Amino acid sequence: MGKELVVTSANFEAEVLKSPVPVLLDFWASWCGPCRMIAPFIEQLSDEYSGRLKVGKVNVDEESDLAGRHGVVSIPTLIVYKDGKIVNQTVGAVPKQNIEALFKGIV
C-alpha cells in the first residue's frame, strides 16, 4: 500500500467528512480477487493526485459497521466524498480511467 490511509470508524469523521480535499474511499478485503486487481490503480492514483485527493482504504472485514453504513454489499466499492458528502461511486473492478473519472472534475 502506498500513501493510502487506513480509514476506520474511529477516524472516518476527521479523515473523510472533514477533509479539506476530496476523498476516494476503497472498500475492500484481502480475500477479494477484484479488489487485488484494482489495488495497483488505487495506489497509482494516490501518488498522482497527492495533495489534491486523499485516498482511503476501508477493510470491510475489520470495519463492517462502516461498510454497512455505506450500504456496501459488493466489493470493491469505490466512493468519492467532497465536502463531507458522497458525490460519486462505483462497484466492481473497473479500469484505472474509470476510477479516475469518478473524481476528475472535482480535483
Residues with catalytic roles: 32, 35
Tens digits of residue pLDDT in 21-66:
999 999 999 999 999 999 999 999 999 999 999 999 999 999 999 9
Domains in the chain (CATH in brackets) are: 5-106 (3.40.30.10)
Tens digits of residue pLDDT in 79-107:
999 999 999 999 999 999 999 999 999 98
Distance, in Å, from the CA atom of 92 to the CA atom of 54, rounded to the nearest integer, reads 20
Distance, in Å, from the CA atom of 31 to the CA atom of 90, rounded to the nearest integer, reads 20
- What pTM value is reported for the model? 0.95
